Amino acid sequence: MADAVPMERLATIGYQGRTLRQLVRRLLDHDVRVLLDIRKVARRRRPDFNRNRIEAALGRAGIEYRHLPDLGSSRRLRKHLYETGDFERFRGLYLSYVRRWRLSEVRALANEARREGTICILCYESDAASCHRGIVAAEALRTHRKLKILHL
């Protein structure tokens, strides 16, 4: 069971190497109330992590699910990353995109944490440092310094 939860927490989680059951359990252990899926497309080769199945499993656990595709990375950026392995270049390009076009959505994440307590953003990679969700979390912290970031 999680300790008392401070307000204004933004957690991040990747489903790489996890089952859907493990992911839901981890969210519950950290008192996550809302999961924000920031994949561009909320369906993958692993059917358990397609939107409908995640949403249903979270609903049974009392966690709200929302898909925010505008915070996903473009197919072009992902393709470049997979071909080159240059995450620093990806980070710079994605960060430019977020700051120019998606800062209002990032601010909304911080505001939602204020209202809801603990919210969590989801993507694939297990390590937030090698995923665009880590960039989104850092930008949310930049816009709202009281936010506590937690990588699950």
Instruction: Walk me through the domains of the chain, giving residue ranges and CATH numbers.
Output: 9-151 (3.90.190)
Asked if 109 contacts 101 with a C-beta cutoff of 8 angstroms, the reply is no
Estimate the crossing angle of helix 75-84 against helix 87-97, to 10 degrees: 160
SS3 label, residue 80: helix
Q: Does residue 5 surpass a pLDDT of 50?
A: no
Radius of gyration from C-alpha coordinates of the chain: 15
- With 0-12 CB in 10 A as exposed, 13-18 as middle and 19+ as buried, what is 52? exposed
Q: What is the mean pLDDT of residues 143-147?
A: 87
Asked if 58 contacts 65 with a C-beta cutoff of 8 angstroms, the reply is yes
pLDDT per position as a tens digit, 74-112? 888 888 888 999 999 999 999 999 998 998 999 998 888
Q: Are strands 118-123 and 148-151 parallel, antiparallel or unpaired?
A: unpaired
